[in-house]
Structure 1
Amino acid sequence: MGALTDSRKRLSADHRHPLPSFPPPSPPPPSKRPKLAPFPSLLNTSSTTQPPPPPPPRVPAGAAASTSSAPGPSSSTTAPSPLPHRRRLPPPPPLRRPIHGPQRVLRAFGLGPARPHAAPSWPSPSSPPPTPPGSLGLEQYVELVNRVSHPAPPPPACTTDVARESEPAPLEVVAVEEDGEERKGEEKEEEGWASVVVRKVPLYRELYEASRRKRDARLRTLEFEVRLAEEGRLGLEKLAEVLPRITPKKEEVPEPFVPLTDEDGDVVRHALHGRNRRERLAVHEASNIVITREILQCLNDKDWLNDEVINLYLDLLKERELREPSKFLKCHFFNTFFYKKLSSGGYDYKAVRRWTTKRKLGYSLIECDKIFVPIHKEVHWCLAVINIRDKKFQYLDSLGSMDMKVLRILARYLVDEVKDKNGQQIDALSWKQEGVKNLPLQENGWDCGMFMLKYIDFYSRDMDLIFGQKHMRYFRRRTAKEILNLRAE
């Protein structure tokens, strides 16, 4: 009834306002009586003055039910009512107006709002005016059905990327176990295509753990220790970079100066200071030399070296060369009796002719690099060197003296030896004869023999004479160890 009353009021209001496009209405009646249906006699006069009514408006099918019950203009309204007691309705308005009545909200196909109380969406100026559900015709309905049944193809990839960039930030969904226990292990996040991040650890758990770490004194102590250790490690790394620049490089100890071990020191001490002086400490079968404690004790401090110790040590040097030929020069070591035999009566080559046969030595003297000849002068040991490689004769005396007679005898011997053993004639007398300069000299009256052995040792290594008086005590114990082991190092 509200809808009908509202419509009747609006229709009567539209009738009262004249429009210029239509003929002016008849003057208002003096009373309410003319509003009633006129008498039949007056119908002809009114029909002549009123224009023909316009055709009824087309009402959609969906609104037919709602508007059928409302009174409106029809064909019967144009015809005069034959009954005098019926009221005549006003003529229809010149413009069709929609009836504002309660309408059913259509949510199908997106034609109505998503929620009953949703705010109305204002259409943009460029978009076409929305089609009310009541005015949806057959063509529009078919088009709507086709649009729903066959959706438009997806936009290209570039458009999709732009749309994804404009999407809102991914939502955070917290997953909690049903039993209330959090999953052990590290926090893991999984991101799907829909930009939804699933957190395996609840947020309140993370906040609780962070707060607990701040309040735990033990954790603070451990963090401090870790930080301190890290700083210490960084400091050590920097120190390792700086240390080589402020620390001098430690040179390796040359082979002739390798210190004795504690065990070797005990063995040498027992061999030199034992009570049984006739005890056999070493026997060299190749040279048939037997070393007793009495013979070995010449290596104690302030004692002169004897022939047995010197000759055995020279034999050990020759064995060392044969054992490691690439490390040492090819040398020949005469014993302490050679020069005495050679120089007996002034010069006697026949006395030593059979000492150097190739059957005994396995080589000829001319094939050697250096030949060492110990020289004993009653109470003093010296050394003469036949340097075949450099073609010269050298004389080494730890007291700094020089003996040219020894060098002339050795030059004569070399000429006879090469002629006898090799059948060659060499001019050894024209070789240079010299005393070695800058020799390490002894500073006492008993180390001449030790100096002579070290001259031979260093020259056989092809090394400079880089030792002195301060090394003699060490060399004595090292020589004793090598004789006890029957192995020169």
Structure 2
Amino acid sequence: MTARSLSLARALDPPLGFPPPPPAMGALTDSRKRLSADHRLPIPTFPPPSPPPPSKRPKLAPFPPSLDPSTSAAPPPQIDHASAASAPGPSSSSSAPTSSSSSSSLPQRRRLPPPPPFQRPIHGPQRVLRAFRPGKPARPHAARPSWLSTSSPLPQSLRLEQYVELVNSVSHPAPPTRAATTNAAATQEEAVPLEVVDIEEDGDEREQEEEEEAVRMSVVVRKVPLYKQLYEASSRKRDAKLKTLEFEVRLAEEGRLGLERLVEVLPRITPKKEVVPEPFVPLTDEDEEIVRQALHGRNSRERLAVHEPSNIVITREILQCLNNQEWLNDEVINLYLDLLKERELREPSKFLKCHFFNTFFYKKLISGSYDYKAVRRWTTKRKLGYSLIECDKIFVPIHKEVHWCLAVINIREKKFQYLDSLGSMDMKVLRTLARYIVDEVKDKSGQQIDALSWKQEGVKHLPLQENGWDCGMFMLKYIDFYSRDMDLSFGQKHMCYFRRRTAREILNLRAE
């Protein structure tokens, strides 16, 4: 290589870091292939055709930051087509053009301008403040800051003063109108603090741009804190169970109240259970068997009961008077009256204070004529332990040949009563007993009573016998019910039961 060509090559090579200068107009390379291609190129027309493929495009230096279209909105610079035509093309495999190329006889051709470079995005972490993107205000009723007016575009970066102004405008809205103040006073709702969220994202640029578009032109404002939202969501899940439990509690309460009301109404809508009075308590199977053996045994002289206080012995023959269609004898009647007196002494609060004369008293009193001295010693206080005047009622059995009646000296009510199961009345018996009680009180206590003026009557609604053999049993039950201070609520239909019950009480030597 000559010195001239070396200097020419150095002149053509650009310094390091700068693009090579454009060659002289019409300069061509010494490549035959290139020359032949240039010879076949058509005359360029404007607008220019599409740029060549990337593999044939020359490497271009990036724009300076001031000309980067991604950061500046300035229009692209005007391209001088004359100078662009002389811009260097793709480098060939040969070295710089020699002096022999200038003497070529080929016609000169214009070169196509290079296409503008693509915008290169800046890759790097970005801090995206979504809360401060342009768009609607944070709250419709909040006052819009002066710098956020629609007439002026929102700057890309906010200063500290603008950030403070935006937060104050969201947290402290403008005073509400008069209608809003009235509505707030009516509902009495407390102001809910707002929470402005600053979202910071890193990652893929494309995903970041998509998320930016989703939240652009809006402000992310949370009216209720997150913990309150979670609590409300959890409470909504529990609401169904709580409502179910509340319903069950209410149902149980209503059921309890219904049962309480039912207790009050039930006695009126259901019949009362019949309470069996004590005189009608049925015998057990065991008692029935004992009575059957006592009344229907073979040995008639067998002793079945011995009452030592009265010295009365009851054999099977004597007890068999309690069978149906049998007359009662003196031993059974007198022993039963003694058992009634023992019952009274055993339970004095349950029964009236009474005295029970035996079947021989009235016969002794009127033997021949009225004779008080014949029965004077029968009622001494040392023997009885009490005076007859202290009793409520005094029972006197009356036997008339084949019929038993009852006379009652009712001291509590001051009257004399006569009870005959056949419905008859004997005033002579009542006058005799009135005379007796006057003599008795005068003899034992020295008092004078006017018993002759007491009322003498029969008993109304008296249960009557319907056969010729139950007079003795009727008389015993008159005494039993009156000593209980009960009404005579029995009849002929109960006589069979009363006979068996009396037999059982005599066998047990205990009246119930």
Regarding TM over 0.5, the answer is yes
Alignment of 1:1-40 (within 5 A): 1=61, 3=63, 10=75, 12=77
Out of 436, 449, 461, the residue aligned to residue 413 of structure 1 is 436
Cα drift, residue 131 of structure 1? 4.1
| Contact 2:339-2:511 within 8 A present in 1 as well | yes
Unaligned segments of structure 1, at least 5 residues:
17-30, 34-99, 115-119, 172-191, 200-232
The reply to whether residue 107 of structure 1 matches residue 126 of structure 2 is: yes
1:292 aligns with 2:310: no
| CA gap 1:287/1:160 in 2 versus in 1, 3 angstroms | farther
Aligned pair 1:404/2:427, yes or no?
Answer: yes
| Residue in structure 1 matching 2:418, options 377, 395, 399 | 395
Task: Give the 3 Å change call, closer, same or farther, for CA 270–158 of structure 1 in structure 2.
Answer: farther
The alpha-carbon distance between structure 1 residues 342 and 412, as it changes in their structure 2 partners (threshold 3 A), is: same
Q: Is 1:295–1:309's contact at 8 Å kept on the other side of the alignment?
A: yes
Distance 1:253 1:437 in 2: 24
CA distance in 2, matches of 1:403, 1:194: 98
**Aligned counterparts of 1:142 and 1:105: Cα–Cα separation in 2:** 27
**What is the deviation of 1:360?**
0.9
Q: Does 1:124 align with 2:136?
A: yes
* SS at structure 1 position matched to 2:374: coil
Provide closer, same or farther for how the CA distance between residues 196 and 474 of structure 1 changes in structure 2, counting only shifts above 3 A.
closer
Q: How far off its partner does 1:196 sit?
A: 6.8
> 1:186 is matched with which residue?
none
2 and 356 in structure 1: CA distance in 2 versus 1, 3 angstrom threshold: same
- Judged with a 3 Å threshold, the aligned counterparts in structure 2 of structure 1 residues 263 and 348 are, in CA distance, closer, same or farther, namely same
Q: Distance in 2 between matches of 1:107 and 1:194?
A: 36
User: Structure 1 residues 334, 122: closer, same or farther in 2, change over 3 A?
Assistant: same
Q: 1:164 to 1:383 in 2, by over 3 A?
A: farther
**Equivalent position to 2:451, from 408, 413, 428:** 428
Mapped contact 1:170–1:196 kept (Cα < 8 A): no
In structure 2, how many angstroms separate the alpha carbons of the residues matched to 1:310 and 1:157? 97
Quick one: structure 1 residues 193 and 392, their matched pair in 2 at CA, closer, same or farther if it must change by over 3 Å?
A: closer
Query: Equivalent residues in 2 for 1:61-460 (5 A)?
Result: 102-104=121-123, 106-108=125-127, 110-111=128-129, 122-124=134-136, 126=144, 128=148, 130-132=154-156, 140=159, 158-160=191-193, 247-460=270-483
User: What is the distance in 1 between the residues matched to 2:282 and 2:381?
Assistant: 38
For 1:344-389, what per-residue CA distance to the aligned partner results, in whole angstroms no more than 9, with x for missing partners? 1211111111110001111100011110000111111111111111
8 Å CA contact 2:193, 2:224 repeated in 1: no
Give how far 1:465 is off: 1.2
SS of alignment partner, residue 382 of structure 1: strand
Q: CA deviation at 1:283?
A: 1.4
Q: Structure 2: any 5+ residue segments left out of the alignment?
A: 1-60, 84-118, 138-143, 174-188, 196-220, 238-254
The amino acid of 2:303's aligned partner reads R
- Give the Cα separation in 2 of the matches to 1:379 and 1:325: 34
TM-score by length of 1: 0.59
Write the distance in 2 (CA, Å) between the matches of 1:269 and 1:393.
39
Q: Which deviations, in whole Å up to 9, do the C-alpha atoms of 1:4-61 show, x marking residues without a partner?
A: 5877994655x99xxxxxxxxxxxxxx979xxxxxxxxxxxxxxxxxxxxxxxxxxxx
1:364–1:245 distance in 2 versus 1, CA, 3 Å: closer
Q: CA deviation at 1:132?
A: 3.4
- Distance in 1, matches of 2:339 and 2:310, equals 10
2:506 to 471, 477, 483: 483
Inter-partner Cα distance in structure 2 for 1:315 and 1:154: 107
Give yes or no for contact 2:425–2:458 (8 Å, CA) kept in 1: yes
Structure 1 residues 165 and 479, CA gap change in structure 2 (3 angstroms): farther
The SS at the match of 1:433 is strand
Deviations 1:262-281 (A, max 9, x none): 11111111111111212221
Residue pair 2:134, 2:154 contacting (<8 A) in 1 also: no
Q: Compute the displacement of 1:153 (Å).
A: 10
**Equivalent-residue separation in structure 1 for 2:408 and 2:120 (angstroms):** 139
- Find the aligned partners of 1:398 and 1:389 in 2 and give their Cα distance: 24
SS in structure 2 at match of 1:406: helix
Kept in 2, the 8 Å contact 1:3–1:101? The answer is: no
- 1:200-259 per-residue CA deviation (whole Å, 9 max, x = no partner) reads xxxxxxxxxxxxxxxxxxxxxxxxxxxxxxxxx9xxx9xx89986664323211111111
- Secondary structure of the 2:294 match is helix
Q: Tell me, yes or no, if the aligned pair for 1:170 and 1:197 is still in contact at 8 Å.
A: no
Return 247-256 or 316-325, whichever deviates more.
247-256
Q: How far off is 1:472 after superposition?
A: 0.6
Q: Secondary structure at the match of 1:283?
A: strand
Is 1:281–1:293's contact at 8 Å kept on the other side of the alignment?
yes
Amino acid at match of 2:441: V
Aligned to 2:96: none
Tell me what 1:202 maps to. Answer: none
The residue type paired with residue 132 of structure 1 is Q
Matching residue of 2:17 = none
C-alpha distance after superposition, 1:414-447 (max 9, x if no partner): 1110001011011111212222232111111111
8 Å contact from structure 1 (residues 320, 488) kept in 2? yes
Instruction: Write the letter of the residue equivalent to 2:393.
Output: K
C-alpha distance 269-194 of structure 1, shift in aligned 2 (>3 A): closer
State the distance in 2 between where 1:11 and 1:164 align: 44
Residues 282 and 290, structure 1, Cα contact 8 Å, conserved in 2 = yes
Letter in 1 for 2:135: P
CA RMSD of aligned residues (A): 4.2
Structure 1 counterpart of 2:102: none
The amino acid that maps onto 1:446 is: W
SS of the residue 1:440 aligns to: coil
Q: Check the 8 A contact 2:328/2:472 in 1, yes or no.
A: yes
State the alpha-carbon separation in 1 of the partners of residues 120 and 481 from structure 2. Answer: 128
Paired residue secondary structure (1:264): helix
Q: CA shift at 1:404, angstroms?
A: 1.6
Give TM-score, length-normalised by structure 2.
Answer: 0.57
Residues 197 and 333 from structure 1, CA distance in 2 versus in 1: closer, same or farther, beyond 3 angstroms? closer
**Structure 1 residues 169 and 463 mapped into 2: Cα distance closer, same or farther (>3 Å)?**
same
336 and 196 in structure 1: CA distance in 2 versus 1, 3 angstrom threshold: closer
